[in-house]
Chains A and B, each alone.
Chain A
């Protein structure tokens, strides 16, 4: 299976995100990337849109629902949101949407900072494997992978790579 080119996806996403925000009448959204891949995607997206908005970063390790199965992530970093959340329109950005559990954790964390006016979800890839009723508002591409396949993003220069767990 051939993977899409992230740079092309980013330019399409920028157009779609602009259209989405215009339709909703949102003029000054706050951008937040989910560590680590989401921050790379968010930065690339901001660069593409020519925006110098500050980028918030979220580490959802303390909010994950799999603590009792996988424990604490050893490289947790502080979240850094250099703006108010209360009453703001947020654009939440992640690299790969799979189960939707990361997004749930991110939403829970965001609401501990305040009550946003809205949250728009942007993902580079949607693997169409949702375990929760969470769908992106803007997506680069939707892929269907076999059960033994995973896609991995590296950065900050965005590169996608297909991994085969069966090998």
Chain B
């Protein structure tokens, strides 16, 4: 390992460009802004008659999903297809893993099929990072959600949603509401908002659904909806993650809705032009009222459209960074040989 590699964050190349996309942790504001700007340009492509550009022609993107997903998987597929890449999707939960193959062996097989990029979703925190460290270096790894840790493309599509509807981050109050403890979306959003300069980030949740040390994210914690929602510009609702809830954290769903559900009445405390976001899938009547989810403040379906553009941006930027890194290393190799 060269000294450069030990110092440089795993997801960046020697020029500071993205080569994997694992987490928003440690990424500079300029890089996040570059992702948002690039996604803006891809949004325009999505509005054309032919929604396709030839950028990743001849590249193979492999979606490896160890956990169920509809939105993330299909929007990654669409994003790769709109970049003209070839796409394969593997639901590993229903394939080799159930026959006893290890994660690394599955990936080595996919690597042998000359995939240029893996999009990975896994139930364990740190899975994408593990893969980026241990598969061959020219495969770009994109984190499509790992355990409770991170969901960076969701974080960035939420930032694109906020920027397109609110124009920026400098004067905003943003509330993230619900099951913060189990939510990788909440973590990615808190990091991204902080990096992009949002001055007032609030989390609203019952104490049992707040992670220990939440204050280190630079957020204000509320356990009362009315107080937390007062005059906010953006409300990000989270899904109540029943499948991750190991009993005892909540008395009942009804109780949760009564105290933390987003209803029209509660939303009235926010700014009149506030927007309501949700990563989906929404549980109507559990964390959000139907009238709010389908109402004028809701931008939940816009988020899905923006998600494709963000994923196109991340896929092309990571591929670009991988290519640059390979050329850089090739150049170094030739220099060393010439000496």
Which chain A residues have a beta carbon within 8 Å of chain B's beta carbons?
Answer: 59, 61-63, 67-69, 71-72, 74-80, 108-109, 112-114
Contacts and interface: CB of A to CB of B under 8 A. Distances in A.
Contact of A78 (B43, B317, B320): B43
Contact of A112 (B42, B49, B319): B49
Interface in B23-74: 34, 37-38, 40-45, 48-50, 52-56
15 contacts: A59-B41, A62-B41, A62-B54, A67-B320, A69-B323, A71-B320, A71-B323, A72-B317, A76-B38, A77-B37, A78-B43, A79-B41, A79-B44, A112-B49, A114-B49
Contacts of B332: none
Nearest to A80: B44
A72 to B, nearest CB: 4
5 tightest A-B CB contacts, nearest first:
A71-B320, A78-B44, A62-B53, A112-B50, A72-B320
Contacts, number: 54
A71 B44 contact: no
Contacts of A63: 53-55
A71 B56 CA distance: 10
A72 B316 contact: yes
A146 B222 CA distance: 68
A76 B48 contact: no
Interface in B165-220: none
Main SS at interface, chain A:
loop
Interface of B: 17, 34, 37-38, 40-45, 48-50, 52-56, 316-317, 319-321, 323-324, 327
Contact of A71 (B37, B48, B50, B324): B324
A113 to B, nearest CB: 6
Contacts of B53: 62-63, 109, 112
Contacts of A74: 34
B93 to A, nearest CB: 33
Main SS at interface, chain B:
helix
A78 B312 CA distance: 14
A76 B52 CA distance: 16
Given A62-B45, A69-B327, A80-B44, A75 B50 contact: no
Candidate in A72, A75, A113 with the most chain B CB atoms within 10 angstroms: A72
A69 B34 CA distance: 20
Contact of B41 (A68, A77, A108, A112): A77
Nearest to B52: A112
A71 B327 CA distance: 11
Contacts of A77: 37, 41
Contacts of A68: 323
A83 B235 CA distance: 37
B253 to A, nearest CB: 43
B311 to A, nearest CB: 14
A31 to B, nearest CB: 19
Contact of A76 (B41, B49, B54, B327): B41
